[in-house]
């Protein structure tokens, strides 16, 4: 039996849902708008996408998206399609065109959102997945258990290399596990990548010599391919342990080539994710989206954070993090680490831990660390104490009784 | 004076529009959610994004997108921001993170759409633009004036290499200028790329020998980078004159690397465009989006077609085509060819020509050619006659009096 790829959509249509489903299946496989003599029943049987499931959810009076078929009623359904692997082979770029190509533009569609994706095993054989994942990241960061306590260089843009290094110095002296560049900071003339990495790694290596543990710094090397390769090599040659890239900036081929070249974990930023997901009747859920990037080699994937400063609801954040931790294939789990950030402090530790049931994650706070009256070191300590409390099932306030940094932090968080 | 990048957005906000604009500008440059001691006035002056323009359009009672600030009134505005080149350098991947990064997720945003982009000249120096564009494509296709009359291999998926070549044989014998693979057909096991190219190029070269003009075939080489390079070289070694790629499948680094490697025009498919644009309060207009891909090297860019079978309105199609033809820089126009397709026949020739004022384009029809009672050759001839009429300002019906293929076509189009 042939392998098949399955994709599940939330569909809204002004057409008869069964017909709309068949139009979508046709458009994304052997069909065309006109019946052509070449599209024989045999060809359609072999190459056509198949409607596996079509469950009506509800009917509404107004379309979610403009431009579709005019109707007095729009039907919302769950639609599952499947494709034979013979159409596209185990190719991630061609998978994109198949599961997320022209279909969003169809007039039969007044709403379409990709909810789920099940890839056949040949994709696991064709793509590498994360090279480091949870275990490799823990090993390099020297954090055998619990979350990586992290932060982000701020201001996002504007510090020069020496100012950046000075901020890093305070953080590593404070015992931070993980630091990342802002996604807006890559190689601008005011803070060139090479100078920044040299300045920062001097500080990081010096602290590692003194402290016996090296903080992981995700240097944002987003750029053209030769730039990314060269920058990766520089980071590695200076003893760095992580590189960062903006996925929507470089695209799939960019990540695949970086993964092929790299010998460091790849911290994957999702900036731009909003335009792919912010309208609930259009685009992508995080679960299918992150699958593609994990297969291509992302080790860490951003998932926002509980009670974040952006527009994403908590249940969406947790669903995203669970998706990142869910095995891609039973024989090739390719687990990645979810990265929680945006308006985070130790206050979100208990809820995050409770929802996930594990601490295989990076938790990044900015003001929640920098704002501690006892200084950055106390801020890092308090954040870690909050996680210790969460993982031992102790209320933060109880834990704070015997942990003064946490006690102080609870007053300003 | 420093170079600046300007981006214009349609913004809807439940906040005070001035404050929302400043939050967006801050988030995308030096700012953070918390005031940090390091974000000095000097740093902000140097590195902050600037609100250049904020024009209120109207106020509405309901937000377009969920998750934003709750309010009784939502203000819609035109917002122009600018960034100094020192923040990011002339880097297309980092431009993406700057103009289209986290901002779509802000709670101050209940609608955000990128309308326009003005890049400083250093981008023209940093990126190649199309290697062939209009002139190079015309030269290779042997079509010195008028549109390239084109078509698409259908069924989209399911034909094997020999069946594909047989369809191409009928088309080239009929005098077609341009043929493209479907975006779903790249290198599936049922129709492997190499076999398909070999079979098709035998037919194309044979016809070129007989007819003195070689049809341009855009072979869809979408895939991983090494695959794309190898496939390009195969096409070129067999005398092919064009390669095709799905932009959203490979991403910016993919196109940049293909452009660097290629010595053939790059036909750029936009499949997936729907999820970037279909909701009017979110995502991308085509004008700024196509600029990025042209800079990176796209020679041909899809723009849908008038009265198409998808959900896009005619004015949007024409705006997209005009954008593709508009010079990127006065000293480096980097013009590309718009590709019109989807439900097209000669009936759309007059309106397309009238709206653009030129025929520097590819016009692709499927059923409008295949369905001609006189056969494929008559279908191609009729389509070309429709364009001759359009360009000479003659009504199709008048031109049909002395052109029997067009006369017959008008009855079935």
ipTM, two decimals, is 0.97
Answer yes or no: are the C-beta atoms of B151 and B157 closer than 8 Å: no
Residue B65 contacts A where some CB pair is shorter than 8 Å: yes
Residue A151 contacts B where some CB pair is shorter than 8 Å: no
Residue A43 contacts B where some CB pair is shorter than 8 Å: yes
When CB atoms are compared, the residue of A163, A186, A224 closest to B88 is: A186
Cβ–Cβ gap A189/B367 under 8 Å? no
Whole-angstrom Cα distance, residue A47 to residue A32? Answer: 13
Residue B238 contacts A where some CB pair is shorter than 8 Å: no
Q: How many CB atoms lie within 10 A of CB A10?
A: 20
Q: What are phi and psi of B195, to 5 degrees?
A: -65, -40
Whole-angstrom Cα distance, residue B104 to residue A349? Answer: 26
Residues β-bridged to residue A60: A74
* Residue B2: predicted pLDDT: 86
**Of the candidates A174, A185, A198, which has an alpha carbon nearest to the alpha carbon of residue A269?**
A185
Residue A87 contacts B where some CB pair is shorter than 8 Å: yes
* 3-class DSSP state of B182: coil
Distance (Å) from the C-alpha of residue B276 to the closest C-alpha of chain A?
6
Interface test with B, best of A98, A99, A253, A258 (most B CBs within 10 A): A253
Residue ranges of alpha helices (H) inside B265-403 are: 273-277, 286-296, 314-325, 349-356, 367-370, 376-392, 396-401
Residue A359 contacts B where some CB pair is shorter than 8 Å: no
Residue B373 contacts A where some CB pair is shorter than 8 Å: no
Residues 6 or more apart from B35 whose CB is under 8 A from it? none
Cβ–Cβ gap A94/B188 under 8 Å? yes
* Residue B37: predicted pLDDT: 67
Cβ–Cβ gap B89/A154 under 8 Å? no
* 3-class DSSP state of A391: helix
Cβ–Cβ gap A43/B158 under 8 Å? yes
Distance (Å) from the C-alpha of residue A248 to the closest C-alpha of chain B?
8
The pair of structure tokens assigned to B242 is 């064009």
Among B31-35, B187-191, B359-363, name the one with the lowest average pLDDT. B31-35
pLDDT at B226 over 90: yes
* 3-class DSSP state of A78: strand
Mean pLDDT of the region B330-348: 97
Q: How many CB atoms lie within 10 A of CB A317?
A: 25
Among A90-94, A155-159, B6-10, B112-116, name the one with the lowest average pLDDT. A155-159
pLDDT at B167 over 60: yes
Cβ–Cβ gap B251/A246 under 8 Å? no
Whole-angstrom Cα distance, residue B410 to residue B413? Answer: 5
Cβ–Cβ gap A253/B248 under 8 Å? no
Asked if omega into B283 is within 30° of 0 (cis), the reply is no
Run of H or E including B92: helix B92-99
Among B39-48, B197-206, B295-304, name the one with the lowest average pLDDT. B39-48
* Residue A35: predicted pLDDT: 59
Residue ranges of alpha helices (H) inside A92-244 are: 92-99, 121-126, 133-141, 161-173, 193-211, 225-237
Band (A31; pLDDT cuts 50, 70, 90): confident
Run of H or E including A245: strand A242-246
User: How many CB pairs below 8 A link A and B?
Assistant: 358
Whole-angstrom Cα distance, residue B367 to residue A365? Answer: 58
* Residue A30: predicted pLDDT: 87
Q: How many CB atoms lie within 10 A of CB B354?
A: 11
Query: How is B101-139 classified by DSSP, letter by letter?
Result: SGGGGBTT-SEEEEEEEE--HHHHHH----SSHHHHHHH
Q: Which residue of B has its CA nearest to A154?
A: B32
* Residue A34: predicted pLDDT: 56
* Residue B34: predicted pLDDT: 57
Residues β-bridged to residue A106: B310
Q: Which residues of B touch A45 (CB under 8 A)?
A: none
* Residue B32: predicted pLDDT: 62
Residue A100 contacts B where some CB pair is shorter than 8 Å: yes
* Residue B39: predicted pLDDT: 74
Residue A68 contacts B where some CB pair is shorter than 8 Å: yes
Residue A38 contacts B where some CB pair is shorter than 8 Å: yes
Whole-angstrom Cα distance, residue A313 to residue A216? Answer: 29
Which pLDDT tens digit goes with each residue over A138-193?
999 999 999 999 999 988 899 999 999 999 999 999 999 999 999 999 999 999 99
How crowded is the C-beta side of B269, counted as CA atoms within 13 Å?
31
Run of H or E including A323: helix A314-325
Residue A71 contacts B where some CB pair is shorter than 8 Å: no
Q: Which residue of B has its CA nearest to A310?
A: B106
Q: What are phi and psi of A148, to 5 degrees?
A: -80, 120
**Of the candidates A198, A196, A209, A40, which has an alpha carbon nearest to the alpha carbon of residue B159?**
A40
Q: What are phi and psi of A88, to 5 degrees?
A: -135, -15
The pair of structure tokens assigned to B306 is 């008038």
* 3-class DSSP state of A219: strand
Whole-angstrom Cα distance, residue B22 to residue A331? Answer: 49
When CB atoms are compared, the residue of B97, B184, B304 closest to A184 is: B97
Percent of chain B clearing pLDDT 70 (strictly above): 98
Run of H or E including B12: strand B4-13
Answer yes or no: are the C-beta atoms of A189 and A110 closer than 8 Å: no
Percent of chain B clearing pLDDT 90 (strictly above): 94
Mean pLDDT of the region B292-311: 97
A 206-235: CB under 8 A from B? 222-225, 227-228
Q: How many CB atoms lie within 10 A of CB A124?
A: 19
* Residue A78: predicted pLDDT: 98
* Residue A39: predicted pLDDT: 75
Answer yes or no: are the C-beta atoms of B31 and B88 closer than 8 Å: no
Q: Which residue of A has its CA nearest to B99?
A: A272
Answer yes or no: are the C-beta atoms of B389 and B406 closer than 8 Å: yes
* Residue B31: predicted pLDDT: 77
Mean pLDDT of the region A279-293: 98
pLDDT at B95 over 80: yes
Cβ–Cβ gap A167/B223 under 8 Å? no
Mean pLDDT of the region B357-366: 97
Helix axes A247-261, A92-99, angle to 10 degrees: 150
């Amino acid at each position: 039996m042939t392998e098949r790829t399955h994709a599940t959509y939330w569909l809204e249509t002004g057409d008869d849902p069964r017909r709309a489903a068949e139009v979508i299946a046709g458009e994304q496989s052997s069909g065309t708008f006109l019946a052509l003599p070449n599209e024989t029943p045999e060809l359609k049987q072999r190459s056509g996408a198949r409607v596996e499931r079509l469950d009506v959810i509800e009917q509404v009076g107004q379309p979610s998206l403009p431009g579709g078929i005019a109707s007095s009623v729009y039907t919302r359904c769950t639609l599952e399609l499947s494709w034979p692997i013979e159409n596209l082979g185990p190719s991630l770029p061609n998978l994109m065109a198949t599961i997320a190509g022209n279909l969003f533009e169809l007039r039969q569609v007044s709403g379409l959102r990709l909810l789920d994706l099940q890839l056949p095993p040949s994709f696991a054989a064709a793509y590498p997945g994360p090279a480091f994942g949870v275990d490799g990241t823990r090993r390099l960061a020297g954090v055998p258990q619990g979350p990586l306590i992290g932060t982000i260089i701020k201001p996002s843009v504007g510090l020069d290399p020496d100012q950046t290094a000075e901020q890093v110095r305070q953080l590593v002296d404070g015992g931070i596990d993980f630091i990342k560049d802002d996604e807006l900071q890559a190689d601008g003339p005011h803070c060139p990548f090479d100078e920044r990495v040299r300045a920062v790694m001097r500080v990081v290596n010096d602290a590692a010599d003194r402290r016996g543990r090296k903080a992981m710094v995700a240097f944002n090397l987003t750029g053209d391919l030769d730039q990314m390769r060269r920058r990766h090599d520089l980071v590695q040659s200076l003893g760095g342990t992580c590189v960062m890239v903006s996925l929507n900036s470089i695209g799939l081929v960019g990540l695949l080539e970086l993964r092929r070249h790299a010998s460091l974990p790849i911290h994957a930023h999702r900036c731009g994710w909003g335009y792919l997901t912010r309208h609930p009747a259009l685009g992508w859920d995080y679960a299918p989206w992150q699958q593609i990037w994990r297969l291509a080699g992302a080790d860490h994937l951003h998932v926002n954070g509980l009670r974040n400063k952006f527009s994403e609801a908590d249940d969406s954040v947790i669903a995203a993090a669970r998706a990142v931790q869910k095995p891609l294939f039973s024989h090739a789990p390719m687990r990645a680490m979810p990265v929680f950030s945006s308006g985070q402090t130790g206050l979100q530790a208990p809820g995050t831990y409770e929802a996930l049931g594990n601490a295989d994650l990076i938790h990044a706070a900015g003001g929640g660390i920098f704002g501690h009256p006892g200084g950055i070191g106390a801020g890092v300590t308090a954040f870690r104490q909050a996680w210790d409390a969460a993982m031992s099932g102790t209320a933060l306030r109880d834990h704070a009784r015997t942990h003064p940094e946490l006690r102080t932090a609870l007053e300003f968080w």
